[in-house]
Structure 1
Amino acid sequence: MKPEVQLDTNYYKVVGIRKLTEHTFVLSLPKSRFEFVAGQHVSLSITGDYQSREYSIYSAEKGENLEVLVKEVEGGYFSPKLKHLKVGDMVEVHGPFGKFGLDVKNKDTHKHIFIASGTGIAPFHSMVKSNPGLNYQLIHGVRYAEEGYEQEDYNKGNYTLCTSRDKSGDFNGRVTDYLKKTDFDKNTSFYLCGNSDMIFDSMEILSDKGFGRENITVEVYF
C-alpha cells in the first residue's frame, strides 16, 4: 500500500453539484493543491455548522476537481444540507484519511475485483479513473438500475450491475447472489466497500471459494 498522505485542512467554494438521481449527487470542489491516494476519504463540514461527515473521494487523483458522491439520507441532518448547497457556498475539507486503496504489489499481476453496494462505489470510481489500463471488474449492487451511477465512466465489459428490485441490470439479485454463481481466477485481489452486511456475507462467500483475508481489502460504510 502507498503511505498515507499528509493531512491538511482546506476551505473551498462549491463549483458544482451534479445530480445523478433524486437523492444522489456529486459535490464538486476546486482541487487546488489537495493530494490524495485513490480510495481515501475526507471529512466534510459546512461553514458555520458544528457537524461533519466522512465521504470517500469520487474523483481521480489527477482530476480537475475534488469530488465526493453523496446520497441524501431521509430524515438525516447533514446530507440534506449538502444537497441544498449552491455554487459559491463554502465547505471545509479535512483529510485525506485512510489506507483503503489498490494493493500496489499486485497492481500489474492480479485482476482487481471491486465489490460495492450503493454509494460504496465511490472509491472504486476514483481507482479506475486514476489507473488507466487497470485489469479490473466492478460489481455494483443496488436496488434499482437508475442507481448505477455514471456507468459510462467504466469499460462496458468491466462493469456488472446487480439490481435487487428490478430486472434492468446485468444481473437480477444481490451482489452476494452474483458472487455465489461466479468463479474467480487464483490471481485476484478483492476490494469490498459498502454496508457491513454485504461485506461480511461477501467475505464468507469468498472464503468458501478459497480466498483468504490476505486477498481482501475492506472499507465499511455503515
Structure 2
Amino acid sequence: MTAATTSPTAVSAPDDAAPPSGRRRAAFHPLTVESVRSLTADAIEVGFEIPAALADAFDYRPGQHIALRMTLDGAEVRRSYSLCRAPAGGAAAPGTLNVAIKRERGGAFSTWALEHLKAGDVIEVMSPDGHFTPHGRYDRPARFAAIAAGSGITPIMALIEHHLGERPDDTFDLVYSNRTAVDAMFLDELADLKDRYPARLALHHVLTRERRPADLFSGRLDERRLETLLTRVLRPETVDEWFLCGPFELVERARAVLLRLGVEASAIRVELFSTGRDEHAGPKPPPVEVTPGEPVRTISFRLDGTSGTVTTPVSAGETILAAALRTRGDVPFACAGGVCGTCRAVLREGTVDMAQNHALEPDELARGLILTCQSVPTSDAVSVDWDA
C-alpha cells in the first residue's frame, strides 16, 4: 500500500518477471471471536482465537493486515483491517489476533460489527498479508516516525509495541490526528506506552475540532502545519523510516511534504484506509457473455499449482480479477480497490492498464507485479501468476 497512482498505468510483462518467491498463500479460515471491547463510541477492538493448528498460517509481522469475510443480507462482504497488536510477546496474548473496527459512514459491515458482533461468533479470516513494515534490518538503534489519522493508528500501534518492546534502543515519534480527544482510538494504550518508554516514545496529538494548549497541535494537518511539525519537532534527517496511515488526502499530503524536505521515497511507508472511492464494493461486474465473432482477450493464470484460462470481451473492460473469479471462486482478493494488495500477481505475458495502484512499490512494478483487481488486459493474450 505504498505507491499512489490515480490514472491508468500501462504495464508490460518484463523479460525477467519475478520468479516464485515462496509467498504464503492468502487463504481464509474460520476463527472464533474471543473478545470484543469498546475503544470509542464508534470503534471496537476484536480479538480472534487462533487454534494451535493454525498458528503458522496466522504468524505475522507488525504492520500487516487481515481480511474478514462473511455474508450480510445474502451478499458476501470482505473488509481489510490492520492488526493492532504486536505479535506474541507484545500486548497480544499468544494465540490471539486483534483488529480494530471503526464505524464507516454507510458501512454495512462496520455498522453490523459495532452493533452485533460478540464473543463466540465465527468469521472467516484471511491469513495476514501486506508490507507496511520496516524496510531495513538494523544492527544499530533505529528511529521511526509515524503520521496517522483516526483509524490509521491501528497498524502503528503494532509497530510501536514491537519496536519499543523487542528492540530496547529504538525510538518512535508519532503524530496522531483526530477530531477530538474522545475520538482517539487507543488513547489509554498510547499513554501507557509513553509511561513505559518515556525517553523512547514521543507523542504529538493533533485535534482538528478541539483546542489544544499549543496552536501547532490544533487544527487540520494541512501542508503548512505539517511542514512546521516536520521541521521544528520531528527533524526528518534523524529518522530512518516513516509510516503514513490514514485517509488518502492526508497520506499524500504528508508524503509530498516529506519528499520536499529531502526524505528518500524508499524511507516512506504508506498505507491507505480510504481513497475517496468505493474500494469496498468488491468486483461486481454485470454478467459477461461472449458474443460469437466478438473480439476477446484470453487470460491464462496459475493459482495453487494449477492453470486456468478465461476469455473476456474487449468491450467489457473486465479486470483480470473479475474474469478469473468467473472460473475460480478462490482467487485471492480483499478490498478490490487497489489498496490492500491481496490480489497482486506477476504478469508473465502481455500488457495491461492498471487503473489504480495504492499497494505496489516501484521495485515491485519493475519485477512485473500487478494488482489484478485494477488491471484490464490490453493485449490479445495475458498470463498472470498468483503463485509467484
* TM-score above 0.5, yes or no: yes
Please state if 1:197 is matched with 2:249: yes
User: Would the alpha carbon gap of residues 185 and 194 (structure 1) be closer, same or farther in structure 2, given more than 3 Å must change?
Assistant: closer
Which runs of no fewer than 5 residues in structure 2 stay unpaired?
1-21, 195-200, 275-388
State the alpha-carbon separation in 2 of the partners of residues 145 and 178 from structure 1.
Answer: 19
State the alpha-carbon separation in 2 of the partners of residues 159 and 110 from structure 1.
Answer: 17
Instruction: Indicate which of 144, 162, 175 corresponds to 2:206.
Output: 162
8 A contact 2:40–2:184 mirrored in 1: no
State the alpha-carbon separation in 2 of the partners of residues 99 and 148 from structure 1.
Answer: 25
Corresponding residue of 1:180: 227
Corresponding residue of 2:87: 61
Which runs of no fewer than 5 residues in structure 1 stay unpaired?
none
Corresponding residue of 2:64: 40
Name the aligned partner's letter for residue 127 of structure 1.
L
Pairwise mapping of residues 1-222 of structure 1 onto structure 2 (< 5 A)?
Answer: 7-32=26-51, 33=55, 34-46=58-70, 50-62=76-88, 63-64=92-93, 65-83=96-114, 84-106=116-138, 108-131=140-163, 132=165, 133=168, 134-154=170-190, 155-156=193-194, 157-168=201-212, 171-176=217-222, 178-182=225-229, 183=231, 184-188=235-239, 189-222=241-274
Name the aligned partner's letter for residue 172 of structure 1.
S
Structure 1, 198-207 or 128-137: larger mean CA deviation = 128-137
Cα displacement string for residues 151-205 of structure 1 (whole angstroms, at most 9, x for unaligned residues)? 3333335221111010258721234454311321423111111111001111111
State the alpha-carbon separation in 2 of the partners of residues 203 and 101 from structure 1.
Answer: 16
Cα displacement string for residues 126-157 of structure 1 (whole angstroms, at most 9, x for unaligned residues)? 11222213310111111111122223333335
8 A contact 1:45–1:53 mirrored in 2: yes
State the alpha-carbon separation in 2 of the partners of residues 129 and 103 from structure 1.
Answer: 17
8 A contact 1:15–1:87 mirrored in 2: yes
Name the aligned partner's letter for residue 148 of structure 1.
A
Name the aligned partner's letter for residue 58 of structure 1.
C
- What's the RMSD between the two structures over aligned residues? 2.2
Name the aligned partner's letter for residue 93 of structure 1.
V
Structure 1, 34-43 or 70-79: larger mean CA deviation = 70-79
Structure 1, 121-130 or 47-56: larger mean CA deviation = 47-56
Identity of aligned pairs, percent?
A: 25
State the alpha-carbon separation in 2 of the partners of residues 103 and 43 from structure 1.
Answer: 23
**What is the deviation of 1:4?**
5.8
Structure 1, 184-193 or 147-156: larger mean CA deviation = 147-156
State the alpha-carbon separation in 1 of the partners of residues 155 and 36 from structure 2.
Answer: 18
Using structure 1 for the length normalisation, give the TM-score. 0.89
8 A contact 1:193–1:199 mirrored in 2: yes
Using structure 2 for the length normalisation, give the TM-score. 0.53
Structure 1, 209-218 or 36-45: larger mean CA deviation = 209-218
Structure 1, 131-140 or 153-162: larger mean CA deviation = 153-162
2:175 match: secondary structure: strand
1:139 match: secondary structure: strand
8 A contact 2:244–2:270 mirrored in 1: yes
Cα displacement string for residues 78-136 of structure 1 (whole angstroms, at most 9, x for unaligned residues)? 11122211211111101211111123334744310011111011111011222213310
Structure 1, 181-190 or 61-70: larger mean CA deviation = 181-190
State the alpha-carbon separation in 2 of the partners of residues 107 and 145 from structure 1.
Answer: 37
State the alpha-carbon separation in 2 of the partners of residues 200 and 95 from structure 1.
Answer: 28
State the alpha-carbon separation in 1 of the partners of residues 183 and 171 from structure 2.
Answer: 24
2:155 match: secondary structure: helix
Name the aligned partner's letter for residue 52 of structure 1.
R
